[in-house]
Amino acid sequence: MARIRKKPETVKPAVTGTKIQLKWVRSAIASPVKHKLVVKGLGFTRLNEVIEREDTPSIRGMVAKVPHLVEIVK
C-alpha cells in the first residue's frame, strides 16, 4: 500500500509586511564558524548595527541559533 505524502505548508508571518529589528551586540570572533555564518546570513556587517528584516520563521530560527550575539530590538 502506498503512502500519501502531504505537501509541507509554508508558514507565513501573522501580518504580511511585519518587520523585526535586530541588533548585533557581541563579536563573533571566538564563536564557531557556523555562528559566524548565521550572523553573516542575517546581513550584519559591523558590530552594534541595527538592521530590519521580515518577521519570518526562518529569520526567527537564525536569531534563535545565536541569541548570545544578536538581540531583537523591536
14-42 pLDDT tens trace: 566 799 999 999 999 999 999 999 999 99
C-beta separation of 71 from 25 below 8 A: yes
pTM more than 0.85: no
The full set of domains in the chain, from first to last, is: 24-72 (3.30.1390.20)
C-beta separation of 55 from 74 below 8 A: no
6 has a pLDDT exceeding 70? no
56 has a pLDDT exceeding 80? yes
The predicted structure's pLDDT at residue 74: 76
Report CA-CA distances (Å) from 57 to 11, 34, 43, 48. Answer: 7, 19, 16, 23
